[in-house]
Amino acid sequence: MTTLTALPPRTARILRLPLGLYLALAFVLLLVIAVLAPQLLATHDPFALAYAEALQPPSWAHVFGTDESGRDLYSRVIFGARDSLTIGLGAASVSLSLAVVFGALAGLAPKPIAVVVDRFIEVLFAFPSLLIALLLVAILGPSALTAVFAVGLGTAPGYARMVRGQVLAARNSGYVEAATALGHSRWRIIGAHILPNALRPLVAIFALSVGQSIVWASSLSFLGFGVAPPASEWGALLDAGRAYITQAGWLIVIPGLVIVAVALAATTIGRHLQNTLEKGEK
Amino acid sequence: MTPTSLASSATVAQEVPAPRRPSRPRAIALTIARKVASALVVLWGAATVAFFAQTALPGDRATTIFNIRAGQAQLRTPEELAPINAEFGLQNPLIVQYVDYLRGVVGGTFGNSYQQYRPVTDIIGEQLGATVILSLTAILFSWVLMIVWVTLTAGRGPRLGAIGSLVDVVAAGLPAYWLGIILLLVFALGLHWFPVIGGTGLNGLILPALTLAIPLAGFMGQSTRAEFERALDQPFVISARMRGMGDTGVRLQHVLRHAIIPAVTLSGWALGATLSGAVIVEAIFSRPGIGSVLVSAVNAQDLPVVVGIVTLVAVVYVVANLIVDIAYSIIDPRLKAS
């Protein structure tokens, strides 16, 4: 804490605590290793079957326990990171690309187009994210690629509204008025002033959105509409663990905990970026 | 009317010039008409999205429907497809189908199920009750949880307040499936307080409703807390304290009234969120409801059912928001400007 003059909202202050941020960054570093070189972190072969050791609770030999086929859950979680994070990053990219295009059109296009796009965003916003995603799964059939587009499309309307708000705020700002007074062309003002200022917060939003996307994608997998086994994508682990909830709760609690941790880390980093960017503007 | 709202409406009345007062009912009627029109546009858009989603299945639609019904995937002869074309009006041009669909939606029907040979509204109607009860119970629980938690922790020094808001943030971020499983493991399998399979009884309702309520309480708690802390510094709070009112009384009678306004505006959203969250909760607790219907319809690619449920939730969201909006423009004339 360096500044005591302007106290940010309390929530932001906690999430900005260096300790929380370092933990989040350390966790992300672990994830990056798990994605690039899972064999460095894994203790077992994630696909090696050992029926004699089936459904063992967490122990020193198997820190997260074993599943119904005796596979080491910890190693499966590590090897599943690549699928889960790819889906999360992909969905967040789809979502924010759509949001930028539609949000910018709603904020900048000539009036008739802007009004139509604006209404379109409101229409899609009326559908909850999970339901849009399920609708897309019904049309395209379940797969990893469907999950990316389903989650991306499902979360896009909310972000599109946010981008539109940012664009409108930038458009009505003093510096745009000044640039207009200086006689700069419409496109130059949009390119040099409105878009950079309106899109800067998206860096932080992207981090938040990756966390959210992983949660939504794992919700789809949980319902049985995600990546097919034997892949160990985290949502698929949850879905597989559901059958053993009475005998082996860890099979579902631990992958869930990992997903919550990723979402929390993404939120912490996203909020920190948001605060840093806001401070930079002052 | 409370002392505080009387006071604020009195100040507003002073600021507004006297001659404008008779026109207020008309202004309100105009605002309401505008909001209703804009909601109708959104609903029309939602129905349009719903219709075109059904035409988006790859391949010939009649063949797809036949194969879904037969559980096979093969080409069909025109003779085989004729009854299906007739049942779904597929021989008509797309624009005619679209107008028919819109007419049906206005009349409260969503067409026929591919798989179950009967109207989508019948299928939804059978299961809607259970989900609505779950959703309303969850909203009730979330209000109770949020009000108790915020009233206890907001504005009570940095440490307690910080813990309070951290809990809000974490609760809001908990995925429903995970929270549900944890509740199930602890309270049903561990402590045996509740049945493992939800059922429709009152006892089976509590854990599913809590699963939806806790993240919702966290989400609403974030905005309520900010408003609560702002209200604590208001002059009317100081004047209430000067009249000798205790801290609890001030919080419950004065501050809370102002603090819950943002959460009330989230009601439409909360209704949509709990209805869609029901999809996951009903899967965890094996509860009947439109969520389970939706999951099996997605599995079977029974698009009319999927689209019907999705559209219904969107309609509920739009209508609830419209009601909240209109209620506000009547209660608080200041919001009309914004």
Residues B7-24: what's their mean pLDDT?
Answer: 48
Contact B181 A260 (CB under 8 A): no
Per-residue confidence at B256, pLDDT binned at 50, 70, 90? confident
Per-residue model confidence (pLDDT) at position B199: 57
Residue B119 has φ and ψ, to the nearest 5°, of: -60, 140
Residues of chain A in contact with residue B53, where contact means CB-CB under 8 angstroms, are 135, 139
Q: Please, what is the Cα angle at B164 between B159 and B170, to 5 degrees?
A: 125
Per-residue model confidence (pLDDT) at position B335: 53
pLDDT tens-place string over residues A248-275: 778 888 888 888 888 888 888 888 888 7
Percent of chain B whose predicted confidence (pLDDT) is above 90? 5
Is the pLDDT assigned to residue B17 strictly greater than 70? Answer: no
Helices and strands (H, E) in chain A, number of each type: 13, 0
C-alpha atoms less than 13 angstroms from C-alpha of B140 in its C-beta half-sphere: 10
Q: Give the three-class secondary structure for A53.
A: helix
Count CB neighbours of A36 within 10 A. 10
For residues A161 and A206, give the distance between their C-alpha atoms in angstroms, rounded to a whole number.
15
Per-residue confidence at B14, pLDDT binned at 50, 70, 90? very low
Per-residue confidence at B203, pLDDT binned at 50, 70, 90? confident
The enclosing H or E element of B30 equals helix B24-54
Instruction: Spell out the long-range contacts of B231-239 with Cβ–Cβ below 8 A and sequence spacing 24 or more.
Output: B231/B255, B231/B258, B231/B259, B232/B154, B232/B155, B234/B258, B236/B4, B236/B7
Per-residue confidence at B9, pLDDT binned at 50, 70, 90? very low
Percent of chain B whose predicted confidence (pLDDT) is above 70? 87
Residues of chain B in contact with residue A218, where contact means CB-CB under 8 angstroms, are 175, 177
Per-residue model confidence (pLDDT) at position A240: 80
DSSP B225-251: HHHHHHHHTSHHHHHHHHTT--HHHII
Probe site for chain B from A1, A4, A7, A11 (most B CB atoms < 10 A): A11
Lowest mean pLDDT among A160-164, A230-234, B214-218: A230-234
Per-residue model confidence (pLDDT) at position A101: 92
Name the residue among B320, B330, B336, B333 with its Cα closest to residue B42: B320
Per-residue model confidence (pLDDT) at position A97: 93
Lowest mean pLDDT among A3-17, A51-65, B278-292, B301-315: A3-17
Is the pLDDT assigned to residue A7 strictly greater than 60? Answer: no
Per-residue model confidence (pLDDT) at position B7: 41
Residue A230: asked if its preceding bond is cis (omega within 30°), the reply is: yes
> Residues of A at the B interface (Cβ-Cβ below 8 Å)?
9-11, 13-15, 119-120, 122-124, 126-132, 134-135, 137-139, 141, 215, 218-219, 222-225, 238, 245-246, 249, 252-253, 256-257, 259-260, 263-264, 267
Residue B111 near residue B89 (C-beta atoms within 8 A): no
For residues A206 and A212, give the distance between their C-alpha atoms in angstroms, rounded to a whole number.
10
* Residue B275 touches chain A, beta carbons under 8 Å: yes
Probe site for chain A from B150, B160, B177 (most A CB atoms < 10 A): B177
Is the pLDDT assigned to residue B110 strictly greater than 80? Answer: no
Give residue B239's Cα distance to chain centre: 38
Residues B87-111: what's their mean pLDDT?
Answer: 78
Instruction: Spell out the long-range contacts of B86-95 with Cβ–Cβ below 8 A and sequence spacing 24 or more.
Output: B87/B112, B88/B61, B88/B62, B88/B112, B90/B61, B90/B62, B94/B55
Per-residue model confidence (pLDDT) at position B104: 80
Contact A219 B222 (CB under 8 A): no
Residue B268: which residues within 8 A CB-CB, separation 6 or more? B317, B318, B319, B320, B321, B322, B323, B324
* Residue B36 touches chain A, beta carbons under 8 Å: no
Whose tokens are 């006892």? That residue is B203
Name the residue among A131, A98, A81, A60 with its Cα closest to residue A265: A81
For residues B160 and B151, give the distance between their C-alpha atoms in angstroms, rounded to a whole number.
12
Is the pLDDT assigned to residue B281 strictly greater than 80? Answer: yes
* Residue B294 touches chain A, beta carbons under 8 Å: yes
Task: Report domain extents, chain A.
Answer: 63-281
CB neighbour class for A259 (10 Å; exposed up to 12, middle 13-18, buried from 19): buried
The enclosing H or E element of A195 equals helix A195-199
Pick from B162, B277, B310: CB nearest A127? B310
Contact A14 B162 (CB under 8 A): yes
Per-residue model confidence (pLDDT) at position B332: 65
pLDDT tens-place string over residues A88-129: 899 999 999 999 999 989 888 888 888 888 888 888 888 888
* Residue B303 touches chain A, beta carbons under 8 Å: yes
Residue B117 has φ and ψ, to the nearest 5°, of: 55, 30
pLDDT tens-place string over residues B158-201: 778 778 888 888 888 788 888 888 888 888 777 877 776 655 56
Contact A134 B310 (CB under 8 A): yes
Residues A142-169: what's their mean pLDDT?
Answer: 88
Contact B303 A141 (CB under 8 A): no
Calculate the average pLDDT of chain A.
81
For residue B273 the two structure tokens come to 């969120």
For residue A7 the two structure tokens come to 């106290």
Pick from A119, A134, A260: CB nearest B294? A134
Residue B279: which residues within 8 A CB-CB, separation 6 or more? A130, A131, A134, A223, B291, B294, B295
Is the pLDDT assigned to residue B252 strictly greater than 60? Answer: yes
Pick from B42, B53, B317: CB nearest A135? B53
Per-residue model confidence (pLDDT) at position A91: 92
Q: Which fold has domain A63-281?
A: MetI-like fold (1.10.3720)
- pTM attached to this predicted model: 0.81
Residues A65-87: what's their mean pLDDT?
Answer: 81
Q: Higher pLDDT residue, B112 or B208?
A: B208
Pick from A127, A215, A264: CB nearest B314? A127
CA distances, A273 to each of A99, A282, B163 (Å): 20, 15, 22
Contact A139 B56 (CB under 8 A): yes
pLDDT tens-place string over residues B45-66: 888 888 888 787 777 777 777 7
Per-residue confidence at B338, pLDDT binned at 50, 70, 90? very low
Count CB neighbours of B25 within 10 A. 10
